[in-house]
Structure 1
Amino acid sequence: MGVTPEAALFFAAGLGTRMRPLTDTRPKPLVRVGGTTLLDHALSLAEAAGIGRKVVNAHYLADMIAAHLQGRDIALSDERDRLLDTGGGLRKALPLLGPGPVFTMNTDAVWRGPNPFALLRDHWAPDRMEALLLCVPREAALGHAGAGDFTFDPAGRLAYGPGPVYTGAQIVAPATLDGIDGDVFSMRRVWDRMIDRGTIFGLAYPGRWCDVGRPDSIPIAETLT
């Protein structure tokens, strides 16, 4: 089994309730920012980083996601029957992603700065990490409210608390999903166990990042495109 991630899952299955009314007729990943869909903003980052296997999951208005991806070398992880949340969605997609650690990325953000996939890959240390999460200082997290998600210890290990904001991009070892009951669960349940083991780390993103979760975030995000 390889130790360098070669596949990425793009989370595109959510209901997009905060983005209404735009998401009344389309899934949030197909909302356009600067003339490009949010999904394609994310996929272009993976292509630029040379990631070979790309998987997109879909639930809400999944037919539109599938049509958007038609003819492209991108696999669809179909969650039409049931929305599985992030952890369950990753588990379902694992046969499409292949063995070894994988990238995951949310599809509701726009980035300006170093390629997040390349940055994570350059700092991945599988001998001591089960996950590496890319976080951004609160002052560089555009369109995002709140006190932040994590604190870093001097070695970069994560704990929950006010501090940097999770960008939605990570590398994670699939074995961390083992032993979690049920099909529907959040990645937070996976992170909880890694925090207890001291095997989840954070990396600070040195650029700017915009959370495109609401319609009023779109003009903010377009300043980064």
Structure 2
Amino acid sequence: MKAMVFAAGLGTRLRPLTNDLPKALVDVNGATMLELVLRRLAAAGVTEFVVNTHHFHDKIAACLREKSDFGFKITLSREEEFPLETGGGLKKAAALLGGGPFFAYNADVYSEMDLTGLYRAHAAAGALATLAVRDRGSKRRLLFDGNMALRGREGEAAGERLRPLAFSGIQVISPGIFDKMTESGVFSITGVYLRLAAAGERIKGFEDKSGFWCDIGDLERLETVRRRAAVDRAA
């Protein structure tokens, strides 16, 4: 099984930590965020990883070389001129991600969700993509119908009764999506999902009801993740 890990972000809201360090290598109690994500995905059965890079690419490459005890294959997809965002980064790495449905996971997300359950739900639904979503506050919530099919974005869709849920930055994607990606350059994968859902493609949500989810979007959230990771390690 394969996974794409998005690690090309600049991490501007984590300065000064990211003045000389990529966000994916920020320390969480002695481990990097990237290491925590890789190990969580590996526990769900992933054996091959593609990690996209831009900001401090060389430091990510060096870190992964040092962590030779991972025991799985890691390929870097470097975005040299500028970060391509999630959609552009995914499309650039398409040739590395064939062979079956794969995970895509933001390297700044700490989650305790059931990744195996997400993968099974994706396979059972025959979806093009299945997005992990949570009932939490967000300015960019997506709308889902009673069958957890994506129907639009909050504030932009109306009509039937729809439920707003926040995307968690974790998803399972079928390789067939690459043939339907008409976008190019820098673009978000969320925009692709919304366009394809509006065209009738099966883009599904999977509600994550696990106890904890947080991204390290700023210094306060990073401290929240560090506290939770310490609890998880002690358990």
What is the TM-score normalised by the length of structure 1? 0.86
Q: Which residue of 1 aligns with 2:196?
A: 194
Q: Report 1:1-225 matches (<5 A).
A: 6-70=1-65, 71=68, 73-112=73-112, 114-116=113-115, 118-125=116-123, 128-138=126-136, 146-147=138-139, 149-158=141-150, 159-161=152-154, 163-178=164-179, 179-196=181-198, 197-207=200-210, 208-225=212-229
Count of paired positions: 212
Q: 1:64-109 deviations in whole A, cap 9, x for unaligned?
A: 0111111453111111233221111111112222333221000112
Task: Give the distance between the partners of 1:217 and 1:52, measured in 2 at CA.
Answer: 29
Identify unmatched segments of 5+ residues in structure 1.
1-5, 139-144
> Larger C-alpha radius of gyration, 1 or 2?
2
What code does the residue aligned with 1:160 have?
R
What code does the residue aligned with 1:169 have?
I
Identity fraction in percent: 36
Task: Give the distance between the partners of 1:167 and 1:28, measured in 2 at CA.
Answer: 17
Q: CA deviation at 1:148?
A: 5.0
What code does the residue aligned with 2:220 have?
D
What code does the residue aligned with 1:221 have?
V
Q: What secondary structure is seen at the aligned counterpart in 1 of 2:82? A: coil
Q: What secondary structure is seen at the aligned counterpart in 2 of 1:89? A: helix
Give the aligned CA root-mean-square deviation in angstroms: 1.9
What code does the residue aligned with 1:165 have?
A
Residues 96 and 176 from structure 1, CA distance in 2 versus in 1: closer, same or farther, beyond 3 angstroms? closer
Task: Give the distance between the partners of 1:210 and 1:181, measured in 2 at CA.
Answer: 29
Q: CA deviation at 1:125?
A: 3.2
Asked whether the equivalents of residues 12 and 107 of structure 1 are also in contact (C-alpha less than 8 Å), the reply is: yes
